Structure formats: C-alpha cells, structure tokens
Structure 1
Amino acid sequence: MTELSIQNIANTAALQSPVPEAAPAPAPTAPRLVKMRSFGIGEHSTVTTSVATGAAILLLWWAVALSGKVSHLFLPTPAEVLAVAKSILEDGYANATLWEHVSASLTRILSAAAIAIALGIPIGLFMGLNRWAKGIFDTPIEFYWPLPPLAYLPLMIIWLGIGETSKIALLTLAMFAPIVLSAQAGVRALPLERVNAALSLGASRWQLFSAIVLPSALPEILTGIRIALGVGWGTLVAAELIASTRGIGYMVMSASHFLATDAVFVGIAVIAVCAFAFSSTMRLLESWLVPWKGKH
C-alpha cells in the first residue's frame, strides 16, 4: 500500500468519526452587590436603647425614693408625682388650670419664635450674601449673643414693663441670634460650583437665590431654629420665674415656695413634654423639607 493510499484512508476515518460536542458555556453569575460601609451610628434605630435608658432612670428613681435614704420631701416617688399630676390636671394649681399655665407659655414662645424667624432668616441670608450687611449686623449680634438672657431681663422690664411685651422681647432676642448665625453659615457653606453652574446656564439673581442659595442653606436654618427653640424654652421658664402670674415656670416657682417637690416634678415633666414635642415637630419638618440631609 502506497503512502498516498494510507493518507486517504486516514482522512476518510477522520471524516467518519463523530465530532465531539462543545462543552456547555458556564451560566452567568449574578453580580455581587457590595454594601457601603456605614459611618457613625449608621442607619440602625436607637429607639430601643433610648426606651431602655428611660426605664432604667425611672427604676433608679423609684429605688432611691423607696430606700428611705432621701426624704420624700426632697425626692418623692413616681407614684406620688403621678397622683399630684392628676390633681393638678383636675383642679389646677396656683390659681389657674394646667392648660392655662401651658397655653400662657406656648403663646409667649410661639409669638417670639415667629418674630425671630421672620426677622432672623432674611437678615442671616443677607449677611451671608452681602459684606456690608455682615459688617453692620455682625457686631451687635456678636456682642449680645454670648450674654445670658437673664442678664438683660431687668433692662427689658425697665423699658417695657412687667407685662407680656418684655417677656416676648426677651425671648425674641434669645432666639434671634442662633437663627441669624445659622442662616449666614448656610449661605457661606454653599459650594461655588453650584453657583457657577447656575450662572453658566443663564440663571437670574432670583433664580439663583430661590433654586440654589435657599435650598442649600435650609438645613442649617432648620438646625438653627431647633437650637433657638431650646434656648427659648430655657429663657421662658427663667423669665416666668421672675415676673409672671401664669405659665409653667410660674407654677414651678410657686410650688418651690411651699416645698411641694412633687408639683415641681410635674412642672418639669410638662416642660420636657413640650420641648420634646417641639423637637419632634422640627425633625419631621426637616425630613420633609430637606430629605437629602445627611445622605450625600
């Protein structure tokens, strides 16, 4: 058999042999999602920890009060405070009902907050946008802002009398400075890239202010309002301790004159509930107006 015949036979056998099937392609794997590492407290809720802490404080208060080491005159039990709270709620205290005391305090702080917000936000924004405005308003604000409000309460009484006008003016001054400074800080923290981008797109001055400046400064403004309300509550109670016939602070002071510690605890609890309600309202307002805060 010649070499050519052998080659032909080999080729014929190769053609008749079965072709091996190709291996199946591997199934595509799903992309692996990597969660970004959280920073700080992250997204976990702290409600459980807060409730447990509050329960622990109440339990400690109850244990110390029942131990007999401290007289009930100075530290009443929670049950005694609840009994006095029920009595005040039904019969009132210091010649007024509980609602009359609370409504008097709320009227004062809400009136002063409205005035401080209406004046403080525009002035703060103007100070952040204009150097002349900053030069004019910065000196008096920085002068009186570190002073305790009670330091100029006597001056308010001398000028405006002992009525509601002096209290509202005192509260307005106490809340005005934090709002102004926060609005100014919000404008100064505005990135110049946003301003330049808006100007390059042909934005007018009003469009620049309404679409860029105000939304960027809004988180700082809301934070300033929260701080101002906290300062206002402290100032309000102190003002009512000195010159008032209605209000939560007046109720606390009247109870302290008669060593009614349980009634003092009730007044403190009412103040805490009102302050917590204000703080929660501001948190809800922040989540609605600036949902992007803390997410970028």
Structure 2
Amino acid sequence: MPDEWNQYADEVRAGLSEDESYGQRDLLRDCDNSADSPGDFPGLPPCSYTQWLSESTLPSPVQVAEATWDFARNGYSGFTVWQHLWLSFSRLAKGLFWGVAIGVPIGLSMGLSSRWRGIFDPIVELLRPIPPLALIPLFIVWFGIGEEGKVNLLLFAAIWIMVIAARSGVLAVNTTKVHAAYSLGASKAQVLRHVILPNALPEIFTGLRVAIGVCWGTLVAAELLGASSGLGFTIFKARQFFLLDLMLSAVILISILGVTMDVAMRMAEKRLIPWRGKG
C-alpha cells in the first residue's frame, strides 16, 4: 500500500467519532485487508476498484477483459462477434450513405440558390432539432421492425448534418475565385466542378465525421427496433440479464469502431483534399 494511502487512512480513523457509522470503519478495515492483494493497481488505493464500488455495479477491468475474450471466442445470442460487428456497421453504413446522398445535394442547392434556400431552409430548421430517438415509435409504425426502420432512423440522424455542412461549404467559397473563373470564360458547370465543389469538400468531410459519431450514438436505439443481432442488441440483451461486463465489452467495441472510422476519414481527407487549409 502506498505511504500516502496509509497516512490518509490514519487521518480518517483519527477523525472518526464514537457515534459515526461502523460502515466507514469497515471500509478502512477492508482496504487494509486487501492491501497486499495481487490485483492492486500500483499508486492507487487498493480498495478503489474492489471495495468502494461493488463489482455488480461496476465490473473490474479484468472482468471486462474476460467478457470481451469470451465474446470474441464464443459470440453471443447465436452470432459471432464479427457478425455482430458487421451487422451494426452495415446498418450504419446504409443510413449514412443515404443521408449523404440526399443531404449533400440539398445542401449544395441551398448554398447555390436563394430560391432553393427559401424552400428547404424552413423544413431543415423545423426537423433538425428533433432527436432521432423521439421518432422510434413512429418509425415502428411507418416502416415496421425490420431493417428498413433502422436504416431510416440513421438516415434521419445524418441527413440534417450533411445538409448544413454542404450549405456552409458552398457559402464559405471565396467569391473572388468564382468571379476570376467566370472572367476566364468558365461556364457555370465548370465553376461548380472546379471552384465551388473543391472548396466545399472540407466542410462536407467535417460534417461526415460528425454524422458518423451521431449515427453511432443512434445505432444502439435503432437496434431496439426488433433487432436480433448487432452491438446495440447485445447491450440491451445483456442489460436484461444484468451482464454489465458484456455491456461494457460491447460499448468498448463500438468505441473502437468509431475511432477506426474517424481515423479512416482523416486519412481519406488528407489524400482527397490536400489543398485544405492552404487558402
């Protein structure tokens, strides 16, 4: 046990009055008894993760690691861990794809034309604040409990982010570049392709990275719509049986996938938009 913890424990004991609860004394005694346990983390009070919080409330790192290994080796609910990962990723990819495919053209049209901006802006601002989770009951009624409902919920989560990103990207284009292109005889299509889109791409990529994070957060709720597989399904199924170590294992896998996708987006951004930040 670190000397600092010994000193702290002595000070607490000295400050305990006779009428104070025995729970505090029991806690200190248990900490002393666990001081030489082989699983203690160096530099931390030995009871910080074994006594102050019950393992039924917060599983230890060892328990989570064991649950992750068992999940990877044996799967869960009839699916391997790779199937759970792939099914969650495929749902997210489909929803994100349609969010980009629909949202980016709408955002570009809003940035290029005040007429289209006047048409779409009230709709976007009306629907954008609605949390996707609030629409789960309606999506069940409209699309059923199959894959369509999950994908559409993720689409709803992503589309407004992409609309705003594309619109902001177009409006941020330096008008001097546009006028210079026109003065050199470029057509509207050429200006759009060679001036506006390249300058709007950085904002679109930033919006895509934000949309990926939001979609991962929505995915767990999306897999409540009658799913029998996926990481979100695993989390809620484990919750029913109070398997907190398995829940944390699935959460960690979601975090790893999210970070991996974000790193991949950064690498793609550097490769596809080398002019970003260069004026």
TM-score normalized with structure 1 length: 0.77
2:119 to 136, 144, 149: 136
Pairs within 5 Å for 1:60-79 = 66-79=49-62
C-alpha RMSD over aligned residues: 1.9
Gaps of 5+ in 1: 1-57
Tell me how far 1:67 sits from its aligned partner: 3.9
Q: In the alignment, is residue 213 of structure 1 matched against residue 221 of structure 2?
A: no
- SS at structure 1 position matched to 2:223: helix
In the alignment, is the contact (CA less than 8 A) between 1:65 and 1:77 conserved in 2? no
Q: In the alignment, is residue 121 of structure 1 matched against residue 114 of structure 2?
A: no
Identity of aligned residues (%): 39
- SS at structure 1 position matched to 2:264: helix
Structure 2 counterpart of 1:32: none
Distance 1:64 1:212 in 2: 62
In the alignment, is the contact (CA less than 8 A) between 1:157 and 1:166 conserved in 2? yes
Closer, same or farther: CA 117–170 of 1 in aligned 2, 3 Å = same
Q: In the alignment, is residue 237 of structure 1 matched against residue 230 of structure 2?
A: no
Q: In the alignment, is residue 293 of structure 1 matched against residue 268 of structure 2?
A: no
In the alignment, is the contact (CA less than 8 A) between 1:65 and 1:71 conserved in 2? no
Tell me how far 1:139 sits from its aligned partner: 1.6
Instruction: Name which one, 1 or 2, has greater alpha-carbon Rg.
Output: 1
Tell me how far 1:86 sits from its aligned partner: 0.9
- List structure 1 runs of 4+ shifted beyond 4 angstroms: 58-65
In the alignment, is the contact (CA less than 8 A) between 1:179 and 1:221 conserved in 2? yes
Closer, same or farther: CA 60–197 of 1 in aligned 2, 3 Å = farther
CA-to-aligned-CA distance 1:130-164 (integer Å, 9 cap, x gap): 11211222122111111110111211110110110
Distance 2:111 2:179 in 1: 17
Q: In the alignment, is residue 228 of structure 1 matched against residue 216 of structure 2?
A: no
Pairs within 5 Å for 1:90-239 = 90-239=73-222
Closer, same or farther: CA 267–115 of 1 in aligned 2, 3 Å = same
Distance 1:75 1:60 in 2: 20
Q: In the alignment, is residue 278 of structure 1 matched against residue 261 of structure 2?
A: yes
Gaps of 5+ in 2: 1-40
- SS at structure 2 position matched to 1:274: helix
TM-score normalized with structure 2 length: 0.81
In the alignment, is the contact (CA less than 8 A) between 1:116 and 1:175 conserved in 2? yes
Structure 1 counterpart of 2:250: 267
Distance 1:63 1:175 in 2: 45
How many residue pairs match? The answer is: 239
In the alignment, is the contact (CA less than 8 A) between 1:61 and 1:77 conserved in 2? no
